[in-house]
Amino acid sequence: SLSSISDQDLILPPDVTVDGLRAALVEMSEIVGSNNVKVYTKATMKPDKDGQYFNLPKEHDLFYVLEKDEFLASAVVSPGSVEEVSGIVKLANKYLVPLWPCSMGRNLGGLRGSVVVDMGARMNKVLNVSERDCTCLLEPGVSYFELYDYLQKNGHENLWIDSPDLGGGSVVGNALDRGAGYTPYGEHFSMHCGMEVVLPNGKVMRTGMGALPDSNTWQTFQYGFGPYPDGLFTQSNFGIVTKMGFWLMPDPGGYQAYLFSFQNDSDLPAIVEYVRQLRIGMVIQNAPTIRNTLIDAAVYAPKSEYTNSKEVLGDAEIDLIAKKIGVGRWNIYGAMYGPKPMRDLQWEALKATFMQIPGASYEFPQPRAEGAKQTVLHMREETLKGIPNTYELGWLDWTCPRGSLLGFSPISPATGVDANKQYQMVRKRFLEFGFDYIGTFVVGWRELHHIVCLTFDKTNPDERRRAHRCIELLIDDAAKEGYGEYRTHLCFMDQIASVYNWGDGSSLKFNEQLKDSLDPNGILAPGKSGVWPARLRGRGFEI
């Protein structure tokens, strides 16, 4: 508890004294109850051997790239209601203590000494589901697993959800970070409808139709009246979201997952050209993934199961692995949604298109005999239907047990030329820094998300440095070609914000102006997405 921790062990945020932090935490305990405030020191950070996907540290980043305590929180506070969140925010203003909100804490880390506001710990209810409108209203602590279970157990089996690759995250947190999944409702922010937000001054606001006191359309019409602020609360530090509405897809009346495999590394450009046209034309109804061999290999087993080599794998070795696990060098995992006559028409178009690529083949998931191996296609069959799972955690262990993940995800035009340029750019840097390229290309609507998964051993400081430097260089390589990342780890936020600098940095300046007006004391997630408040700006806290 707070009183047993010595002054020098407390993790002080900037501009806050020992007495200030103690007073703030005591008063926060009076609001949320003392068992909902946990104070941390360097000695009590969760040990690496304990921290894992289903036992997350809340006080520091699970996949730290810099030093483990670089983004260490002074305390974690778990509010149980909107009123408690508002009370904590008011105290933060009084004591200038920075707050770092999270829903589940899978993408954690903030300015050192911040108080993490763990929104998911106690605010984890499904508040409403409408069968008629196919909508729901959620608190931040509801995970994809929990929402799925809730719908199944409460007679809403006809309502689908849309889960990203891993189902343990928060539905609200993922949409606020502009994450995505793989059903036709996969673009999570565009499928949200209405928010309730605690602003940095502690006042509570509802967006869209929720601004109308007797609203009966908060979850059915996104915009309401006047400027549309919802986007300002994504990847931002302008508010703490306490409720969020979502649209749910009704069971489309039929479903079929499929896999197209392509034998040659050089097939990528042709595949991307075809996917763009089918996707924009809405023949493909969702965002299919174009995965390389090694991402599938990593789902099945670590690298050591395939080879004795500790070097970056070359084309001949990757070809052998592709043969061994029965996939191509590139693989489209997709699905069709709707009754059979609709799917049959769609399938004819897909088959006629992709089978033009020499060496292409296709398959559908087959029923598994008792004890038979589950293939990546079986796994994607669930994911593409929105059923939450954690199969893809396998990636992490590619080069070491309990490995870490650093994502690099630039956006480009969905063309063959750009896909290839990106692929070569990343492979070259990965070879230079000693990492195998594990990646996937996803055509969202019109753009290409390139999702690169750098897996590393966080317990090895040299590997952390190499991982960090590699991505740092790639951010600049990409920017030179006009590509920018859509999401990132905390340690790259300032760099990425700095490359989005058209018009003398007008975008960042606009965000800073909003920040200073909404959060004059600079207490909410300072530095998130490169947006620092006036109080802390230019004082050397940028990373």
H/E stretch holding 94 reads helix 82-95
* Structural tokens at position 241: 């979201």
Which whole-number Å values give the CA distances from 273 to 49, 287, 423, 487, in the listed order?
45, 14, 15, 24
Q: What one-character-per-residue DSSP string does 347-386 give?
A: HHHHHHHHTTSTT-EEE-PPPPPTTPPPPHHHHHHHHTTT
* Structural tokens at position 338: 């709707």
Residue 316 CB-half CA count within 13 A: 1
Report helix, strand or coil for 323.
helix
> Least distance from C-beta 118 to ligand ADP, angstroms?
9
User: 218, 208 in Cβ contact below 8 A?
Assistant: yes
Which of 39, 88, 108, 159 forms a contact with ligand ADP (CB under 6 A)? Answer: 108
Residue 100 CB-half CA count within 13 A: 28
Of 162 and 436, CB closest to ligand ADP? 162
Of 71 and 433, CB closest to ligand ADP? 71
**Best CA proximity match to 449, nearest among 222, 279, 207, 298:** 279
User: 122, 88 in Cβ contact below 8 A?
Assistant: no
106 binds ligand ADP (CB under 6 A): yes
Which of 525, 527, 530, 531 forms a contact with ligand ADP (CB under 6 A)? Answer: 525
Of residues 177-216, those binding ligand ADP (CB under 6 A): 177
- Per DSSP, which regions of 63-133 are E strands? 75-77, 99-102, 115-118, 126-130
**Best CA proximity match to 164, nearest among 150, 153, 148:** 148
Which whole-number Å values give the CA distances from 8 to 68, 74, 92, 290, 359, in the listed order?
19, 12, 21, 51, 65
Beta-carbon neighbour count of residue 99 at 10 Å? 27
Of 143 and 289, CB closest to ligand ADP? 143
Which of 37, 65, 195, 240 forms a contact with ligand ADP (CB under 6 A)? Answer: 240
Of residues 320-349, those binding ligand ADP (CB under 6 A): none
The footprint of ligand ADP on this chain (CB under 6 A) covers a number of residues equal to 21
Of residues 44-103, those binding ligand ADP (CB under 6 A): 101-103
470 binds ligand ADP (CB under 6 A): no
> Least distance from C-beta 413 to ligand ADP, angstroms?
28
383 binds ligand ADP (CB under 6 A): no
Of 165 and 177, CB closest to ligand ADP? 177
Give residues with Cβ within 8 angstroms of 65, minimum separation 6: 404, 406, 458, 464, 467, 468, 489, 491
Determine the length of the chain: 543
Of 172 and 268, CB closest to ligand ADP? 172
416 binds ligand ADP (CB under 6 A): no
Report how far residue 80's alpha carbon sits from residue 127's, in angstroms, rounded to the nearest whole number.
Answer: 14
Beta-carbon neighbour count of residue 59 at 10 Å? 26
119 binds ligand ADP (CB under 6 A): yes
> Least distance from C-beta 377 to ligand ADP, angstroms?
26
Which of 10, 241, 443, 467 forms a contact with ligand ADP (CB under 6 A)? Answer: 241
Which of 105, 200, 439, 530 forms a contact with ligand ADP (CB under 6 A)? Answer: 105
Which of 107, 219, 286, 346 forms a contact with ligand ADP (CB under 6 A)? Answer: 107
Of residues 127-166, those binding ligand ADP (CB under 6 A): 140
Q: Which residue has the tokens 């799972």?
A: 389
* 41 CA to centre of own chain: 28
The amino acid that residue 4 corresponds to is: S
> Least distance from C-beta 398 to ligand ADP, angstroms?
21
Of 61 and 267, CB closest to ligand ADP? 61
Instruction: Kindly indicate which of the ranges 7-15, 174-182, 183-191, 467-475 contains the residues binding ligand ADP, using the contact rule CB under 6 A.
Output: 174-182
Of 198 and 284, CB closest to ligand ADP? 198
> Least distance from C-beta 176 to ligand ADP, angstroms?
5
Of 171 and 290, CB closest to ligand ADP? 171
Which of 60, 192, 468, 528 forms a contact with ligand ADP (CB under 6 A)? Answer: 528
User: 88, 117 in Cβ contact below 8 A?
Assistant: yes
> Least distance from C-beta 238 to ligand ADP, angstroms?
9
174 binds ligand ADP (CB under 6 A): yes
Report helix, strand or coil for 543.
coil
Of 165 and 436, CB closest to ligand ADP? 165
Of 79 and 334, CB closest to ligand ADP? 79
> Least distance from C-beta 430 to ligand ADP, angstroms?
25
Which of 176, 298, 384, 493 forms a contact with ligand ADP (CB under 6 A)? Answer: 176
Of 99 and 134, CB closest to ligand ADP? 99
Of 58 and 276, CB closest to ligand ADP? 58
Q: What share of the chain is helix, strand, coil (3-state, %, to 5)?
A: 40, 20, 45
> Least distance from C-beta 126 to ligand ADP, angstroms?
15
Which of 13, 173, 200, 245 forms a contact with ligand ADP (CB under 6 A)? Answer: 173
Give residues in contact with ligand ADP (CB under 6 A).
Answer: 101-108, 119, 140, 169-170, 172-174, 176-177, 240-241, 525, 528
